[in-house]
Amino acid sequence: MVVDISEHEIWKESWGPSQNLEGFCSDTDIEWLTDCMYKEHYKRRTRRNGTLHFFSDMEKIKDRFYDKVKQEVDWIEDTPWRGNFFVTSTPYNLHTDTGTPGAYKEYIPGKQLIIPLFICWTGHRDKPDDWHPECGTALMKNRFIRYGTNFARDDTKYSTDVNDTIHDYSDLVCYDMDGKQMDVDWNKGIGKETYQKYFTHYNHNWLRGFEIEQVHNWKVGNMITFDMCQAHSGIDFKKDNVSLKAGLTIMTTRKKRET
């Protein structure tokens, strides 16, 4: 789902490095958000992979966190926030979360925020006190000026009930964080060692042409921020005995304007 070329430069304008903000949320914040998820949601959705989404009042969440986010994250504007809570036992595949054109109207995608709420894992009793499982989010250098997309090269049987799915990468255009078009070899793999470490939950072929920018581990109380048009995926947290994790994904927006 392509984006009108008149909007390309303003999409690029806010791009920059991701962050993993330590201790962004207090224990009280986490408890409040968990109540929003379980007790105050107005809709639930179960995806085909079993992931459970909860939809709550994002305006209420924005009222609580906007000023704090604004202090820490560039390009946050007082515009609508979208998003949902999720509980999953399935690591996410490679995708972007820019949604659909109808979700924006006079706005464009901004920064994406992820707040981990809880992580369930076993086998940790034999680990040091400061040990923490690897269950994070892998961000790619590749940014796409297109609406929500899954990347599943050559696997025509793969699709989801949320985003568009790309099976042929030959015509894909992507950009780095500076907004420059990347010269991508779509036949180049990500490397066996990297694949085995992070991505064994999906086909190695899907990662051809992608490069890792950063892997941010999940820790309750932190907040991960990145460009919404940035390709990303979960890492294979089951390898570290993580059975379940839950979080809040927030998609911020920016006001359209002429460039």
Domains of the chain from N-terminus onward: 5-254 (2.60.120)
The dihedral over CA atoms of 62, 95, 237, 88, expressed in degrees to the nearest 10, equals 60
Q: Check residue 162 and give its pLDDT.
A: 62
The secondary structure of residue 97, as a DSSP letter, is -
Q: Which two tokens stand for residue 80?
A: 């609508």
Q: Quick check: 141 and 213 in contact, CB under 8 A?
A: yes
Say what the pLDDT of residue 6 is.
Answer: 87
- Give residue 132's identity as a one-letter amino acid code: H
Mean pLDDT by 10 residues, the chain (259 residues): 87 96 98 97 88 96 98 96 96 92 85 97 79 94 95 84 84 96 96 96 96 97 97 96 96 86
pTM of the model: 0.94
Nearest by Cα to 211 from 178, 165, 176, 173? 176
Q: How far apart are CA 83 and CA 251, in angstroms?
A: 6
